[in-house]
Each structure stands twice: as structure tokens, then as C-alpha cells.
Structure 1
């Protein structure tokens, strides 16, 4: 059977030192700052509604995958078709890097953040320590992955020749419900590369941070989508480095496919493929993850959106800005704010923000957010705030040139000020105080501020 040089395209196997942004999710992984692809394709926004699921298995058909803390508990037993045993560990590094692009644990304060945090990885070794392999082993690996329930099969490998053997394996995997994602190759040509060029396979090219095609990425009408071509990844030792090539863009797309597969109702491989193709945002074909989520069918969706109030104090006054965060696997259609049972406003685009005039209320007011997804599923969250739009009550007692001031307010009094001839001469924290008024004072007022910021002004000039 014909041999091929698989996966390890120019630059694809280099592991070099790398520097360790919906409402976007900002995971605490130290390597996230260097993962420009996650923000470019808006994976970070999609994380607000889905981060994958353990029921989704992504097969990495490659040089094997070595155990890493980033994959702990989610690396399944696999198969080695090169050495004909069940030890699918990685003796090259290529497959482990692909696996961490797909599924490195997110927000765990170590390493990097993969695309699909909760997806499980099925390691299938079909390439040897030098990155070479046969169509026979690759076909066997594809069939093996399909038989073990892989929803997505990631192939960062390929050759220049078509093969009935590969086509049969791809067809078999698709009949078992798997989506095949494969690298377009790194020769910078439009010549077809296999198995990516098999029509039903999702062929992936690589793009730069600006969204343009990398010169080394193969291209042509047979390339279905593109994705970030350089991604932070971890090799078998755990070292973080830049992993470049369509070998890197492919597991990125496979991870996104895993996110889509984790939604409800569970989409078919054909629906995931169609959604990814429909999400292309630039002439270079770069995927956009929130757009792909919205492109999935919504019939049968019973999952309600998530919604939460943004920062707002328990004590408010006057015109108040109320913000909200909302997310849904298929997209939020609108968010509404109610105050005291009355509709204040509706916002249909993120970031969600509402202007509420709390005056003239001085009372506890129930606020309510209602979020609707595209299917019409509704989530309601409530909270109460104290609207205070009335200044403190102020009482004065005069004795000679001394003013004794006492102020009261349900929200509490923040401070008192003595203003003489238009200038503040004394400022005291709290609700009471004594002030000595200068003998030549022409105009004297006392100001009292409550904790909401309301002001009461009282004439404090002494007689005689």
C-alpha cells in the first residue's frame, strides 16, 4: 500500500517557546493570553453557552496522544495500528498537540485552554515516530474511531493521492454518525489533498491573525473552511509552544465541532458540517463559532437561556443603568427588563443594557430580567433594589452661634456640610454634628446627603 508523509507539514511539528480576550469568557489558564485564535473566531463568546460535554468523543487519528494533566479524566483508552497494540501514547508529539488544541481543560489555571473543555479524546495511533504512515492504517483508524462512538474524527494528515480505501473508511464512519475533519495540507497549492478533498469530509485551511490565508496553506474550491493556523499547544512533556499548519487548524475546527455536538437537540454530523460552512465570515473562509451555533436547527430545543444581572447596587437613585449577561446555545433573541411589574425596555443585541428611571420611588422595587432564546424558551431572574429618591429629614437646634444638626434617612445619612457665604467650611461624616457659625456670616445653609446621594438643604442662619 502506498505510503504518505502525514500531518507533519512545514512548521507543523515545531514546538517552540510561546508567550504565555456574548460576554466573552476569560479563562484563568496562563497560556490563554497567547491564544489569538480563540478570540478571532469568537470561541470565547461561545463558551458562555457551551463548553462541550463528556458525551462528545473526538477521535485524534494521528501519532497517538500522551497523558497530560490538561486531558486528565477525558483521555480514553485507544489503539495503536502502527505497533499493533493498545498503547496509543505519542512518540512524536504531533497528536498530543492536536489533542490539546481540541480539548485542553479550560479555566484550571494551568497550561492553555482548549476549544472543547469537556469533550473526551479517543487516541488512535496510525502514524509512526517520524510522522509517516499508510493509507491502510489510517483507514483502519477511522473505522476504529467510528466503531467507538466518535462524534468527530480529526485527521491532521494527508497525501496527494486519492484512495478507494480512504473513501470507504470515510463512508463507513459517516454511516456511523461521525463528522470527518481533515487538513488541507501545507504546500500552498490548489492541488487536492486527501482525505480532505473527499467531498463529504470537512477540509480545513489555515489563516493568520488578520484572517488572511497563510501562504503555506493549500487552497481551492475543495477547501470548505479555514481556521487559525497557529495555535498554542502542549507536547508530551507539557511544554507550551506554537503549533502551526493545517495540522493545527484542523483540531481547532474539530474542537468547535465538539462544541456544536454538545448542544440540544443533538445535531447530526451533516448539520454540524453545514453550520460550520454557513458560519464563514471572511473571503478566506474563516469560521465564526457563535454564527455556527445559530445556524444549527432549533426545532426540539427545550434548553432555556442563561441570564444574570450585571453589577448593580442594592441602593439606587435617579436614572440607573441596568446591565445583563445572557447566553444560549442557539442564540438569545431578546432580553427584557421589568421594574415593579412594568416593562422598562427590550434589548435584542449584546451587550444588554437598560436605562431605568427609578424616581420618584422611595421604596423597595422588584426588578426582573426575562431572556428568550430563538426557540422561545424563557428564563426569568429577579432581584430587589431599594430606590431612594428622597433627601434626609434635617432638624436644627440653635444655641448662640452653635448649630446642632440631626438628620435621619431610611437609607442612612452619609455626611453633613456647613456652607457659609457659598463656601463649604465644615464637612462631617454621619448623621449629627455641631457647627460654630462665624459672626460675620451673611448666608448659612446646612446640607445633608444620604447614602444614595440625595441632598436636603436647610437654612441655618442664626437670628440676632
Structure 2
């Protein structure tokens, strides 16, 4: 088996908007600062070009920033870009985000699993009757549905899991070994689909569903956006109808959103955890994923559950009895448990009606939820607490009856606009169920197809003659309904001049310590003189003595009076670190004795 990497009225859902490379070795994550817990894979960006942008033009954009493409997530056209060692990931990310021929650029963020807490005092499957699972089981227990568990792997020897497993993939080591290296994935898998009615251990929500283990983390449980997105598309291509990601905010990143849209177009849904901060969060909207907060046995929001407008639905997450690595069991709490409980219900719905669209399943899931908290949608429970009995009953009799065509329009360029060179074309498309793809045509020739919102194209106007050109946007939905919109523009390339592409500074400053010189002996008051030069500009310098910061200055010059009278005899290292506006760093050291 190979890795697929190449080396969507009355319900409230966040408005539709606009995580390849299988790591073959461990990496040290980059952390911005002690106050900033965000971490990412060093030197790596994830970039999606607009539909229609040629490979040559894309390579030109990336190479001008010193980067190179080292991978691609199949199915969603997200490119994995490696930057040179001295480049600032944040600076290049910001610059590429402003390039009108790229849909998005983001660092390959590393996310922590929503670690479940032990609770040895409440070993009861209270959550199953709470959500009406026994009633749902009269219809189905999840037969013939595959749930992908994207996590730290799954213990294939566990007696409550072994019979449910199908082959998966390890996107960390790029092989088929999906053993659980952290323990989290086995707990998540058990909550969703541990074997039931087998006189062993625990019962789960969808005890007859298949489990597809997808390892996307290292041994500490950290997973990157690229691994998560690769896992989602890989699972979707191999028949998984549900994917569970128990990582907070995973769906808020464009790379994961694109992968989730890809899975939805193949009839599947991605379910993610809201997080365990216990506080309100302002995560980005997750339009293509189902975000789950956690509840208790009294239908209260769990104290540890994150909440906010990004939450779609709530599910039991407190003291969920589940499987553990090594063949054991325990009661665990967290949105890491709530998410697979919800994923299990989605699996039941799909088993009850295999032909029901992903959009239909999602709509029924949200509309049948038990309203908790404030009437209607609220930030703690979303559309309410999940109701397996009602959801499965409604899904079993639902039909895909969609005769409404999408609506489509040009956002840019405007009608009659004069254009030249590479033209950024933005198209707005929506549908009562969901848009599957948008095509752009120029003078009757198809330019490109975009299957992920926002629908954004790069059209090379040099492929047509100067003069009036007719553009057509054609949008389709899952039922085959379509709609189009036309627009005329004036192409004027004969007098066009090349538009320079912005570049980013990837050259580190050169730091110099003029005094004291390395190897010298110091005494009394020593005047430390330091400077730095850069191809653009030095923004800040910091001076360290034996790794302790003693002085700093903006610009390219720094002086410091060092009183050596009160220090012990010995060797001292004076280090100057210079940083430029792009975040590149250069350093120089002088080793002296006292």
C-alpha cells in the first residue's frame, strides 16, 4: 500500500468561507516565543495556487522566495514548500498570503491532541442511553461504514478493536504500521466503534462500524496539518465515510478545510474536537467540519470544554468508558471523547441510509439535536446535544431530492474591465445543499476547475487575442444541477509590462563584535562595541554574556559598558545576535577571559 503523497437555513452553521509530505524523520518544532504556544514544522509552508495557474508560474513565485516544492497533497492541490534555513516562515507566509495568484499560504502547524483525563470512579456507559443509542441500534449498529481515526495510531491487538480494524496508513513514518505510539488514538477509536455485544469490555456508539487507523502524530502526540490533510484525503479515497480528528481547531486551517471539502464531495464528513480550555475561543470558522463540544451526564457543558461560535454540536465527553493501549479500559474525559461519540452517530446515520449525501447527514444531525442552553444556536452547545435515536430515524427515511441549481456570480474582475497578463478571477457560488465544483471558461475554452471554496482562478490572458473576451463561470451541485454567469472583459496585452513579483528577504544580517576581540583578556570597565549589516536593514540587536541578555538596541549599532570588576575569574562568551525585518538572524561571538 502506498501513501498518496507525491515527494459545506434555520440551523446555524458558521458561514461558508473560504491539515503530503509523510515525515520520514523527526523534527524539532518551531515555537514563536514563551508567550506564544503556536508551533509549526520548521521551514515548511502549505500553499494552494489558484486553479489555472501554470506550474511554471507557481514555481516562479515560490523560487523568488527561496523556496522549493517538496510534496503535494493529492486531491486538493495543496503544495508543501520547504524554505531555506535562514528564512522566516512567518515573513514568507505573510508575503505569499498577499500574492493574488495563491488561494492561501500557511505554516505547517503542529497541533496537540485533546488529551483525555482519567476518571477511575465512574465506569459507566451513561452516554449511550443519554443519546438514544440503544434505540438507534434497532435500525443499525454501523454495518458497512468505515470510520477513519486520525490520531496516534490504534492498538490492533486490543480484543475490543481487533475485529473492527481495516488497513490504514502511517503518515508520520510513511508506512503501513499504524500501531499506537502515544495511547490517544486507541481511546478515541474505542469511543467511536469498539466492538459491542461481544461479552468483552465496553460498548461503543457504532459497534459494527469498521475502524481505519490513520497515524498522523509523533510519539508525543503532535500532528501536523499536512499529515492530517493527507490522512483525510487518503481515507476518503479508500471509502471512509467518517473521519475523526480529536485536535482542537484543526478545521480552522485552510489545508484541513480543503481536505474536509474533498471528503464531503466523496460523501464523507470530518468531525473534530472543540478543545479542552474551558474558555471561549475565537477559532476561525470551520465550514466543512463538524466541531463538537463536550457535555456531562446532566446535559451541562463540561467545565473543561472550549466553546464559541465555531461549535456545531455537543456530545457526551465526561467519563466515557473506552479502550486503552495494551488491552485495557478506562473512563476518560475531554472533547477527544465527545468528538468520536459524534463521529459514531454520523456512522450510524450513514449505515441507515448509505445513499444519503454528506450534506443531508449533516443537516439531519444538527436539526435533530436536543436543544440545550439558550434557545436555538448558542456558543456552548452549538445546535444542541447529539440525539442518535432521532438522527438515525430521520436519516433512514430521508431522500436526496435536490432540484435547485446553484447561484453563481463574478466577484472580480468587473464587467468591461481591461485586463492583461495573469488575471485573478474570483467567483462566488452557493447552493441549498452544496457546490461541488466551479468551472471558468474563456471564449468557449475551459480554463480550469476549482472544487474547493473560495473559488479562485488565475487566467493567463495571453492565451487569447487582444480585444473583447467572454468569460463564463459554471457551477455544479452534487445532484448535477448547474448554473452559469457570463462576463466580458477587454484584454490588452500588446502594451503590457511585466508586473514584478514581490520578494522576501532570506539573507541573515552579518554581526560583528569589534571589541573585545576573541582571545583577549579583560579587566575593569570594558566597552563592548558591536554592529551589524544587512542587505535590507537590521531591525534589532541583542547582546548576551554567557547566554544572559545584558543589552539590546534597535538598528545596526550597539555599545555596552561591561563591569568586569565584580565577576569571577574564568572564560566568558560575548554574543551578538542581529535580526532583520524579515526575522532572519545572524550572530557573532567573542570568547574572552577574566
TM (norm. structure 2) is 0.45
* Equivalent position of 1:8 in the other structure: 113
* Equivalent position of 2:313 in the other structure: 225
Asked if the contact 1:7/1:156 (under 8 Å) is kept, the reply is no
Asked if the contact 2:112/2:221 (under 8 Å) is kept, the reply is yes
Q: State the Cα distance separating 1:250 from its structure 2 match.
A: 0.3
* Equivalent position of 1:435 in the other structure: none
Q: State the Cα distance separating 1:104 from its structure 2 match.
A: 1.0
Q: 1:297 to 1:103 in 2, by over 3 A?
A: closer
Q: 1:202 to 1:129 in 2, by over 3 A?
A: same
* Equivalent position of 1:387 in the other structure: none
Q: State the Cα distance separating 1:127 from its structure 2 match.
A: 1.2
Paired with 1:177 and 1:271, the residues of 2 have a C-alpha distance of 10
Residue by residue, what CA displacement relative to the aligned partner does 1:356-377 show, whole Å, maximum 9, x if unpaired?
Answer: xxxxxxxxxxxxxxxxxxxxxx
Larger radius of gyration: 1
Q: State the Cα distance separating 1:269 from its structure 2 match.
A: 1.2
Gaps of 5+ in 1: 21-33, 302-464
Asked if the contact 2:128/2:134 (under 8 Å) is kept, the reply is yes
Query: Which residue, 120, 130, 143 being the options, matches 1:17?
Result: 120
Query: Which residue, 252, 256, 264 being the options, matches 2:345?
Result: 256
Q: 1:163 to 1:13 in 2, by over 3 A?
A: same
Q: 1:273 to 1:7 in 2, by over 3 A?
A: farther
Asked if the contact 1:181/1:253 (under 8 Å) is kept, the reply is yes
Q: State the Cα distance separating 1:49 from its structure 2 match.
A: 2.2
Paired with 1:187 and 1:91, the residues of 2 have a C-alpha distance of 25
* Equivalent position of 1:213 in the other structure: 301
Q: State the Cα distance separating 1:35 from its structure 2 match.
A: 0.7
Q: Secondary structure at the match of 2:272?
A: strand
Q: Does residue 126 in structure 1 map to residue 209 in structure 2?
A: no
Asked if the contact 1:61/1:126 (under 8 Å) is kept, the reply is yes
TM (norm. structure 1) is 0.58
Paired with 2:243 and 2:322, the residues of 1 have a C-alpha distance of 19
Q: Does residue 89 in structure 1 map to residue 179 in structure 2?
A: yes
Paired with 1:120 and 1:270, the residues of 2 have a C-alpha distance of 22
Q: Secondary structure at the match of 2:163?
A: coil
Residue by residue, what CA displacement relative to the aligned partner does 1:304-358 show, whole Å, maximum 9, x if unpaired?
Answer: xxxxxxxxxxxxxxxxxxxxxxxxxxxxxxxxxxxxxxxxxxxxxxxxxxxxxxx
Q: Does residue 296 in structure 1 map to residue 395 in structure 2?
A: yes
Q: 1:172 to 1:103 in 2, by over 3 A?
A: same
Q: Secondary structure at the match of 2:212?
A: strand
Q: State the Cα distance separating 1:17 from its structure 2 match.
A: 3.4
Asked if the contact 2:356/2:398 (under 8 Å) is kept, the reply is no
* Equivalent position of 2:280 in the other structure: 190
Higher mean Cα deviation, 134-143 or 68-77? 68-77
Query: Which residue, 286, 304, 307 being the options, matches 2:385?
Result: 286
Q: Does residue 64 in structure 1 map to residue 169 in structure 2?
A: no
Residue by residue, what CA displacement relative to the aligned partner does 1:71-103 show, whole Å, maximum 9, x if unpaired?
Answer: 233201111111121101101111111111111
Asked if the contact 1:6/1:127 (under 8 Å) is kept, the reply is no
Residue by residue, what CA displacement relative to the aligned partner does 1:415-461 show, whole Å, maximum 9, x if unpaired?
Answer: xxxxxxxxxxxxxxxxxxxxxxxxxxxxxxxxxxxxxxxxxxxxxxx
Q: Secondary structure at the match of 1:50?
A: coil
After superposition, where does 1:139-218 map in structure 2 within 5 Å? 139-159=229-249, 162-193=252-283, 197-218=285-306
Residue by residue, what CA displacement relative to the aligned partner does 1:144-197 show, whole Å, maximum 9, x if unpaired?
Answer: 111111101111113489432222212211122111111111112332447xx4
Q: Secondary structure at the match of 1:292?
A: helix
Q: 1:4 to 1:39 in 2, by over 3 A?
A: farther
Q: Secondary structure at the match of 2:389?
A: helix
Asked if the contact 2:188/2:336 (under 8 Å) is kept, the reply is yes
* Equivalent position of 2:138 in the other structure: 48
Residue by residue, what CA displacement relative to the aligned partner does 1:203-232 show, whole Å, maximum 9, x if unpaired?
Answer: 100001100101221112321110001211
Q: Secondary structure at the match of 1:39?
A: helix
Asked if the contact 1:4/1:132 (under 8 Å) is kept, the reply is no
After superposition, where does 1:211-360 map in structure 2 within 5 Å? 211-230=299-318, 231-264=320-353, 266-283=355-372, 284=381, 285-296=384-395, 298=397
Paired with 1:218 and 1:5, the residues of 2 have a C-alpha distance of 19
TM-align CA RMSD: 2.1
